[in-house]
């Protein structure tokens, strides 16, 4: 079994919890409260900046030109393509790019982005690859589930289409291959890779919950 599949097997209960989360099921059905989706858009917009930064820092750790180039390409795609999708979503709510930039991160978003950026600074490439894998693979699996569950087009169909696109599938497949290759090259890093993967997967699940309950800060402005 490939190491990326071993990680998915280790996190199967987290994956099941994601698929069962009401944010996911209601988005698939088109019944999700618009305020919850708006909160996801705002928070994910802030998250993606640090997600892209993580890939850029991973690129600096790569020891060969091909990996460095591809990791930088992923960072660029997130900043250029995926953030543009979020700006489109935001416009439906009357939000401008400036509004998104001014959004304060919710506690879960802070925890997740701090984990990714710290990992990208302190850990070797295999661990960074494992830490970012739950986001890409999780969104693909969740969106495929949404596509199967959805009964016709609705306001959230563009979300499902984006994260089941051929381009997104190819990117996730490459990331899985990077996890496998770096685990093969660095067998001593596998325990740390597993720990990073599982923590990121748990934070992915918490991100759905954060958006669904519109998590904020209880004190302070």
- SS3 (DSSP) at 84: helix
pLDDT at res. 218: 80
Tell me which residue has tokens 């506690």. 107
Q: Among 98, 111, 104, 140, which Cα is nearest to 214's?
A: 104
pLDDT at res. 219: 78
pLDDT at res. 150: 86
CA 75 to chain centre: 13
pLDDT along the chain (221 residues), means of 10: 97 98 97 97 97 97 95 96 93 93 97 98 98 98 94 92 96 98 98 98 98 91 64
pLDDT at res. 162: 94
Within the chain, how many helices (H) and strands (E) appear? 12, 0
Determine contact, residues 93/41, Cβ cutoff 8 Å.
yes
pLDDT at res. 99: 94
């Amino acid at each position: 079994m490939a190491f990326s599949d071993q990680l998915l097997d280790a996190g199967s209960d987290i994956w099941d919890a994601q698929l069962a989360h009401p944010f996911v099921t209601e988005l698939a059905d088109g019944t999700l409260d618009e305020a919850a989706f708006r909160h996801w858009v705002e928070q994910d917009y802030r998250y993606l900046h640090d997600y892209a930064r993580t890939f850029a820092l991973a690129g600096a750790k790569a020891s060969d030109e091909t990996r460095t180039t591809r990791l930088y390409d992923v960072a660029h795609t997130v900043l250029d393509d995926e953030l543009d999708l979020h700006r489109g979503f935001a416009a439906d709510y009357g939000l401008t790019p400036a509004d998104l930039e001014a959004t304060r991160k919710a506690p879960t978003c802070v925890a997740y982005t701090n984990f990714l950026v710290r990992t990208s600074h302190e850990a070797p490439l295999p661990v960074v690859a494992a830490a970012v894998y739950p986001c890409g693979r999780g969104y693909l699996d969740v969106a495929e589930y949404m596509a199967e569950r959805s009964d016709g087009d609705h306001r959230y169909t563009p979300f499902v289409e984006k994260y089941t696109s051929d381009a997104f599938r190819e990117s996730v497949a490459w990331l899985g291959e990077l996890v496998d290759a770096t685990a093969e090259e660095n067998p001593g890093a596998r325990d740390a890779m597993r720990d990073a993967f599982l923590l990121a997967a748990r934070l992915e699940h918490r991100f759905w919950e954060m958006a669904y309950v519109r998590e904020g800060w209880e004190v302070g402005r």
